[in-house]
């Protein structure tokens, strides 16, 4: 039995899209801020090798990319047609938001690996835990919606 779905107007769909971006962005901004602060802590250079510091830099870049992608629909809308919403905008904005989840997932996974490596003192166990977390995010963000 298939559930009935209500089709939103373009204006409502645009509002929902921008609200979804607004929901994700504060988490990305908070994570980015913590990533920036970590570099200036004494333990950063003491507990992480140069290669691991480079991994953190990569994670920082991935989270920054995710933030830019999440903010793009609002910027695009404001600059192209702020008084109207088109189906093209809904498609583009949805793709930008979903594509932001990939670098976000990778950035979280890499930083989680670094933290787990410091705490567990085992690169292999840390990598397994980080991959498990990344898989969980991928299941929640990409597989679950397709199962419904």
72 is in which domain, residue-wise? 10-147
Is 4 within the bounds of a domain? no
**Angstrom distances, CA of residue 29 to CA of 8, 52, 126:** 30, 22, 25
Residues 6+ apart with CB under 8 A from 66: 28, 100, 101, 102, 103, 104, 107
Would the pLDDT of 4 be above 80? no
Encode pLDDT of 86-123 as tens digits.
Answer: 999 999 999 999 999 999 999 999 999 999 999 999 99
- Domain with residue 53: its CATH number is 1.20.140
Is 15 within the bounds of a domain? yes
User: 6 or 3: which carries more pLDDT confidence?
Assistant: 6
Read off the tokens for 67: 């933030």
Output the pLDDT for position 1. Answer: 46
> Whole-prediction pTM value?
0.90
Is 3 within the bounds of a domain? no
Is 93 within the bounds of a domain? yes
Total domains present in the chain = 1
Is 105 within the bounds of a domain? yes
Distance (Å, whole) CA 121 – CA 36:
23
């Amino acid at each position: 039995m298939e559930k009935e779905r209500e089709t939103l107007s373009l204006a409502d769909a645009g509002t929902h899209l921008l609200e979804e971006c607004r929901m994700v962005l504060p988490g990305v901004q908070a994570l980015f801020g913590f990533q920036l602060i970590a570099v200036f802590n004494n333990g950063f250079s003491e507990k992480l090798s140069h290669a691991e510091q480079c991994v953190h830099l990569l994670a920082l870049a991935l989270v920054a990319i995710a933030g830019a992608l999440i903010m793009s629909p609002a910027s695009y809308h404001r600059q192209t047609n702020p008084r109207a919403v088109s189906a093209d905008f809904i498609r583009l904005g949805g793709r930008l938001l979903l594509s932001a989840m990939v670098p976000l997932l990778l950035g979280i996974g890499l930083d989680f690996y670094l933290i787990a490596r410091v705490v567990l003192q085992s690169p292999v166990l840390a990598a397994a835990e980080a991959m498990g977390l990344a898989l969980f995010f991928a299941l929640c963000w990409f597989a679950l919606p397709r199962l419904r």
